[in-house]
């Protein structure tokens, strides 16, 4: 974990009758970071942080008693300073310390709490570390072209150093009109909060699926598969080389499909479900880029379109969508490529179609979508495959469906981006960032 700082907090404005006070020392760390960076000069209590990567500008503290009454606030301290002291915490037990990390605009983007803290007269209590986690989605630079039912993906590289920019994110294809019949071949790349136009798809398409196969010493190839060109459903496949900025036609899928999902495990691309033009699909096809061939895999139990999928620990999770019997689904199925089998898992709490997802730290963030009345959603729910359980995530700022999502790592901090989509009346160009 990448920790931020240690704050020494002596909190209290509501002193007890005896007037005795003490101090609280708290270590702070960002929950999703991948590597710890202790600052030895602080005796193991203080931690370094990449403030730019997290977006945290200042840190404030609040201490409440067991009744929820605030007894003191502390700070704000600058993120780069990484320490702060307040005097006179009333002695007592069962205090809760809440920390807020704010961005340069003053909005709280991280929060964390520590409960059960005891303050002793004249002493400094070390309460251990408080883990800060994301509290809000923040606006980033919008795409140049508003679109929905687009593909969003970040290429990966097993031996590359991403540094302060993180991996690039590509927004590919989509629909640009309100009728759903005008597809685009537009491709834009997002890096360092800047969008750059890239070589267009050969075939305009919305409702496509995109997938990235990892490279070793450079970013791997991206695949744009299937979709709708405005008049027909496609089975065509295009491969994008990020290094050369070129698209190349590849072997077609066996089944033309629209509004489906695609995920990658061990360098193989799996195309899952969708709509054929006349039927909901449960079928699954696997593409091997090395041999440029497709093969048929075991079908899902539930035929569906407008679903999403993500990968955790080599297994694919197909989530939500709609079917011939349900306009929106809560269904979750797990696919094991090693055994070519599907297993039903705990249902998603909120039924949704036209949703998206991405995985961070072995958890799947399922984002946005539309309900059974086609009302767009802000809902974010988090699935933990290890425990087969769901929790409520931080809602989107803008409700939308037909959006895309990708996760990247910037200076050891994982970040999720929600991009584009449908607001309920028009396409969306907006991009938002969330740090879990």
| pLDDT at position 38 | 34
Residue 231 has pLDDT above 90, yes or no: yes
Query: What is the pLDDT averaged over residues 220-229?
Result: 98
Check residues 128 and 197 and name the one with the higher pLDDT. 197
Last residue in a domain, options 134, 168, 184:
134
Sign of CA dihedral 280, 284, 285, 287: positive
Nearest to 214 by CA among 142, 124, 128, 311: 311
Neighbours of 104 (CB within 10 A): 10
Phi, psi of 153 (to 5 degrees): -155, 150
Within a 10 A sphere around the Cβ of 156, how many other Cβ atoms?
Answer: 17
pLDDT of 193 above 60 = yes
Residue 219 and residue 365 in one domain: yes
The domain boundary, picked from 134, 160, 190, lies at: 134
Q: Write out pLDDT tens, residues 279-290.
A: 999 999 999 999
Which positions ≥6 away from 207 have C-beta within 8 Å?
149, 175, 226, 227, 228, 258, 259
Q: How confident is the model at residue 135 (pLDDT cuts 50, 70, 90)?
A: confident
Q: Give the pLDDT of residue 7.
A: 53
* Residue bearing the bigger pLDDT, 75 or 95: 95
Mean pLDDT of 130-135: 79
Residues 274, 149 share a domain: yes
Q: What is the pLDDT of residue 4?
A: 44
| Percentage above 70 pLDDT, the chain | 88
Instruction: Identify the pLDDT of residue 17.
Output: 41
Q: What is the model's pLDDT at position 181? A: 79
Average pLDDT over residues 202-214: 98
Same domain, 403 and 320: yes
Residues 340 and 336: their CA atoms lie apart, in Å, by 6
Greatest extent of the chain over all pairs of C-alpha atoms, in Å: 80
What was the pLDDT predicted at 77?
A: 77
User: Which range has the top average pLDDT, 61-70, 95-104, 262-271?
Assistant: 262-271
Q: Is the pLDDT of residue 423 over 80?
A: yes
Residue pair 189/199 in contact by the 8 Å Cβ criterion: no
Q: Measured in whole angstroms, how far is the alpha carbon of residue 55 from the centre of its chain?
A: 16
**Predicted confidence band of residue 54 (pLDDT cuts 50, 70, 90):** confident
Q: Please state which of the ranges 44-58, 82-96, 216-230, 251-265 shows the lowest mean pLDDT.
A: 44-58
Residue 245 domain boundaries? 138-434
Tokens 């931020």 map to which residue? Answer: 4
The pLDDT value recorded for residue 5 is: 47
User: CA dist 217 to 37, 151, 159, 243, Å?
Assistant: 26, 25, 5, 11
Give the CATH number, domain containing residue 402: 2.120.10.80
pLDDT reading at 419 higher than 90: yes
Mean pLDDT of the chain: 88
* Whether residue 42 has pLDDT greater than 70: no
In order of 266, 311, 343, 402, 404, the CA distances from 337 in angstroms are 9, 11, 12, 27, 24
The Cβ of residue 324 has, within 10 Å, a number of other Cβ atoms equal to: 11
Quick one: 304 and 354 in the same domain? yes
Same domain, 403 and 280: yes
Q: How many domains does the chain have?
A: 2
Average pLDDT of span 104-122: 88
Nearest to 383 by CA among 354, 423, 355, 341: 355
Q: Are residues 75 and 166 in the same domain?
A: no
Specify whether 293 is located in the same domain as 410.
yes
Q: Cβ contacts of residue 121 below 8 Å, gap of 6+? A: 20, 21, 22, 91
One domain, residues 292 and 218: yes
Is it the case that residue 58 has pLDDT exceeding 80?
Answer: yes
Mind listing the pLDDT tens digit for each residue in 403-416? 999 999 887 788 99
The conformation of residue 82, written as its DSSP 8-state character, comes to -
**What is the per-residue pLDDT across 389-399, written as a single tens digit (0 to 9) for each?**
999 999 999 99
Q: Collect all residues with Cβ–Cβ distance below 8 Å to 309 and sequence separation of at least 6.
A: 261, 262, 263, 270, 272, 316, 317, 318, 319, 357
User: Are both 174 and 222 inside the same structural domain?
Assistant: yes
Instruction: List the structure tokens of 338.
Output: 């090693």
Sheet holding 233-241, edge to edge: 209-212, 222-228, 233-241, 246-250
Stated as kind and residue range, the H or E segment containing 54 is helix 51-54
pLDDT band, very low/low/confident/very high, at 48 (cuts 50, 70, 90) = very low
Q: Which residues contact 134 (CB under 8 A, 6 or more apart)?
A: 32, 109, 110, 394, 434, 435, 436
Q: Which residues pair with 239 in a beta bridge?
A: 223, 248
The pTM of the full predicted model, rounded to 2 decimals, is 0.86
From 134, 155, 189, the end of a domain falls on 134
Residue 352 has pLDDT above 60, yes or no: yes
- Residue 46 pLDDT > 50: no
For residue 40, the model assigns a pLDDT of 32
Cα(328)–Cα(27) distance, integer angstroms: 44
Do 127 and 155 fall into the same domain?
no
Tell me, what's the pLDDT at 11? 42
**One domain for residues 425 and 345:** yes
Looking at residue 13, its pLDDT comes to 39
Determine the average pLDDT of the residues in 148-157. 95
Q: Which of 167-181, 193-207, 230-244 has the lowest mean pLDDT?
A: 167-181
Instruction: For residues 100 and 210, state if they share a domain.
Output: no
Q: For the residues 141-155, what does the mean pLDDT come to?
A: 97
Over range 108-119, report the average pLDDT. Answer: 88
């Amino acid at each position: 974990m990448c920790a931020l700082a240690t704050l020494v907090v002596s909190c209290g404005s509501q002193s007890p009758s005896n007037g005795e006070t003490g101090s609280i020392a708290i270590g702070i760390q960002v929950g999703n970071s991948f590597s710890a960076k202790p600052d030895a000069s602080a005796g193991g209590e203080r931690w370094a942080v990449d403030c730019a990567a997290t977006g945290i500008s200042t840190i404030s503290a609040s201490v409440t008693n067991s009744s929820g009454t605030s007894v003191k606030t502390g700070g704000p301290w600058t993120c780069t300073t990484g320490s702060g002291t307040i005097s006179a915490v009333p002695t007592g037990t069962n205090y809760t310390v809440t920390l807020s990390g704010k961005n340069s605009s003053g909005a709280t983007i991280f929060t964390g709490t520590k409960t059960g803290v005891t303050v002793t007269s004249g002493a400094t209590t070390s309460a251990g570390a408080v883990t800060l986690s994301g509290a809000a989605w923040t606006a980033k630079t919008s795409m140049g072209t508003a679109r929905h039912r687009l593909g969003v993906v970040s290429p990966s590289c097993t031996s590359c150093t991403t540094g302060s920019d993180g991996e690039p994110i590509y927004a590919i294809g989509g629909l640009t009109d309100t009728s759903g019949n005008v597809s685009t071949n537009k491709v834009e790349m997002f890096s360092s909060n800047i969008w750059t136009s890239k070589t267009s798809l050969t075939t305009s398409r919305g409702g496509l699926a995109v997938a990235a196969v990892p490279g070793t010493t450079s970013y791997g190839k991206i695949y744009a598969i299937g979709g709708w060109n405005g008049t027909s459903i496609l089975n065509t496949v295009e491969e994008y080389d990020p290094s050369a900025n070129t698209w190349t036609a590849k072997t077609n899928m066996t089944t033309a499909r629209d509004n489906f999902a695609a995920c990658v495990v061990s360098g193989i691309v799996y195309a899952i479900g969708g709509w054929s033009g006349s039927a909901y699909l449960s079928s699954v096809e696997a593409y091997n880029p090395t041999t440029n061939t497709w093969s048929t895999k075991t079908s899902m139990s539930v035929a569906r379109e407008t679903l999403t999928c993500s990968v955790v620990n080599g297994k694919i999770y197909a989530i939500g969508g709609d079917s011939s019997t349900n306009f929106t689904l809560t269904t979750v199925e797990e696919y094991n490529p090693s055994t070519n089998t599907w297993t039903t898992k705990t249902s998603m709490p909120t039924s949704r179609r036209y949703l998206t997802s991405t995985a961070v730290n072995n958890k799947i963030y399922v984002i946005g979508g539309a309900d059974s009345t086609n009302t767009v959603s802000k809902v974010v729910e988090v699935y933990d495959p290890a425990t087969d359980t769901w929790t409520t995530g931080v809602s989107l700022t803008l409700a939308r469906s037909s959006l895309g999502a990708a996760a990247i790592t910037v200076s050891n901090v994982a970040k999720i981006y929600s991009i584009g989509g449908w607001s309920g009346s028009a396409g969306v160009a907006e991009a938002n960032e969330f740090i879990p």
